[in-house]
Chain A
């Protein structure tokens, strides 16, 4: 059974650019959540999608957005990148709510 797949694994972007990260959940999982992990702030919740609808949203600026497709795959987008956006972005999927399985993350570096 394939796990949660995140692409790309590593990404380097310049300030002001935008970036799109992708997450393919475990087959049959309809809930996808995104978290940002940094040494200073730890793991912070970005948003959660269930059946293509955003169900929860964390306290991040509007530059951070996401969506979920009918096959449960999800993307998150960050526009106008700032140096402080450098982080490990983690995607997690579950059947419905808890018991999340995390991917290995996308390491984003903004220079």
Chain B
């Protein structure tokens, strides 16, 4: 499914650093832009989501930046911690329709 392209595939960050993961999409009908976090042996968990009427949303150390004209949105993790080490997925969707998952980014935060 090339509708959603996520980058990078893997990311290594030092504790306290900033982690940035990007997601590009093609479907202009998407109106819901979430990021999911998945730990080994668990299902994905909703981390943060944004609607297209705002350009940025912040929840604690996690921020979504949304660029509608470029059809891109990104996840920023400030003050990254070893406990943030997980796989992150963008999964945009359209109202009443399914989520389309990106390929995932494996984040490792070194202590």
Contact = CB atoms under 8 A, between A and B. Distances in A.
B98 A33 contact: yes
Interface in B85-107: 89, 91, 93, 95-104
A104 interface: yes
A103 B34 contact: no
12 contacts: A35-B101, A44-B1, A44-B101, A45-B100, A56-B98, A92-B43, A98-B32, A99-B46, A100-B46, A101-B46, A104-B42, A105-B42
A58 B43 contact: no
Which applies to chain B's interface (DSSP): helix, strand, loop or mixed?
loop
A45 B43 contact: no
Main secondary structure of the interface of A (DSSP, over half): strand
Interface residues of A, number: 22
Contacts of A100: 46, 99
